[in-house]
Amino acid sequence: LEVFNDVFRQAEAAPTAVDAHRSLLLLQENAGVAQLPAPAVPSGIAFAELATPDAQPITEVLSALGFARTARHRSKPVDLWQQGQARILVNTGTAARRESTALAAIGLESPAPAAAARRAEALLTPVLPRRRTPEDVPLDAVAAPDGTELFFCATGHPELPDWQNDFTFADEYVAAAARAASADEAALGRIDHLALTQPWHHFDEAILFHRGVLGLSPQESVDVADPYGLLRSRAVSTAEGAVRIVLTVGATPTDGDAPAQHIAVTTDDVVTAARRYRAAGGRLLPIPANYYDDLAARYALPAHELERYRELGILYDRGAGGAFRHCYTRTVGRLFFELFQRDPGYQGYGAQNAPVRLAAQHAA
């Protein structure tokens, strides 16, 4: 750790000291000097939890996307919305601490939730205290550097406590959601990745945290042009891509207009999914017409395909492994959704299109 680092000199001393201590513990582990509990690398995203003072705007978006409200928490004002393997919790119980809708927590599928918590504590990340009744499933959670709660949990594993047991499921909603997902080729499949905005002085700490505590691997850092400056972005993920988290920080320490968070969900047919969302009353982010003029010059896309993208606001990227097609909902509070269709060989996130998306969001 560099003593005269500008970030360290302007940040609070206590978190910086914890970050330094964590860094040294990981260095000792890598050198074989110290033994820490082995990482229990997460195997998927069980859920994303949204905290909101007013559930109606976000549940209208979820309904238009094809999510169904399938369950209610037994003791807390939390609803479970589900489509395929994509699960969203809508929590209205934390409204006093939230001015607008935001991503508050992520449930990480863990092969060993207790071991994951022990690893976190050994690396100076204490398990968060939780109010629970005797009947509640014992779930451990820690706070990431940006304040997002990370739950270590399991879904449908008989040998492990299942977080879904805290919910009362309505059979008719579950059956309807299952029928809709199985019959619809454009149904949403799962949460592929989440984008989290980091406070300017926590970005490097966040990379170290996700790598050391969770066992995720950092990808290359990318600078993205925003209308008001550059955004720094870096993804962390598992080797096979089952868990992907994109960490972003604004251009300056005083940038009050922080980038919104977003949840990216897979679909096998993004054109049909976008049309269905719009037909259900959802509003997609409009993309400037000149983007499609440039797209036509860069790729030899069929005219009818390009026109579909233009009509719906779908963005397109192509790499060595295939194509990536994606579109965005309008932002609710601090959150928006991304619908995308990724060819199997494409491993990116459409970063080339990020400046266009950011400009469109500023103009919306």
Work out the percent of the chain whose per-residue pLDDT is above 90: 71
Whether residues 160 and 222 share a domain: the answer is: no
Of the three residues 183, 203, 229, the one that is the final residue of a domain is 183
Q: What is the pLDDT of residues 221-272, one digit of tens each?
A: 998 888 877 888 999 999 999 999 999 986 554 444 566 899 999 999 999 9
Whether residues 225 and 326 share a domain: the answer is: yes
Asked if residue 313 is part of any domain, the answer here is yes
Whether residues 169 and 199 share a domain: the answer is: no
Q: What is d(CA 180, CA 68) in angstroms, rounded to the nearest whole number?
A: 10
Using alpha carbons, select from 10, 103, 16, 128 the residue that is nearest to residue 337.
103
Whether residues 207 and 312 share a domain: the answer is: yes
Whether residues 82 and 231 share a domain: the answer is: no
Residue 286 backbone dihedrals phi, psi, to 5 degrees = -75, 135
Q: What is d(CA 335, CA 238) in angstroms, rounded to the nearest whole number?
A: 24
Asked if residue 70 is part of any domain, the answer here is yes
Asked if residue 38 is part of any domain, the answer here is no
Asked if residue 81 is part of any domain, the answer here is yes
Whether residues 100 and 162 share a domain: the answer is: yes
Whether residues 218 and 356 share a domain: the answer is: yes
Q: What is the pLDDT of residues 61-108, one digit of tens each?
A: 999 999 999 999 998 999 999 998 999 999 998 654 567 899 999 999
Q: What is d(CA 108, CA 173) in angstroms, rounded to the nearest whole number?
A: 24
Q: What is d(CA 245, CA 198) in angstroms, rounded to the nearest whole number?
A: 12
Q: What is d(CA 261, CA 337) in angstroms, rounded to the nearest whole number?
A: 9
Q: Which domain holds residue 198?
A: 188-363
CA angle 323, 328, 329 (to 5 degrees): 155
Q: What is the pLDDT of residues 301-322, one digit of tens each?
A: 999 999 999 999 999 999 888 9
Whether residues 49 and 178 share a domain: the answer is: yes
Beta pairing, strands 44-51 & 86-91: parallel
Using alpha carbons, select from 217, 218, 41 the residue that is nearest to residue 120.
41
CATH for 137: 3.10.180.10
Q: How many domains does the chain have?
A: 3
Asked if residue 37 is part of any domain, the answer here is no
Using alpha carbons, select from 119, 118, 127 the residue that is nearest to residue 150.
127
Mean pLDDT, residues 204-232: 90
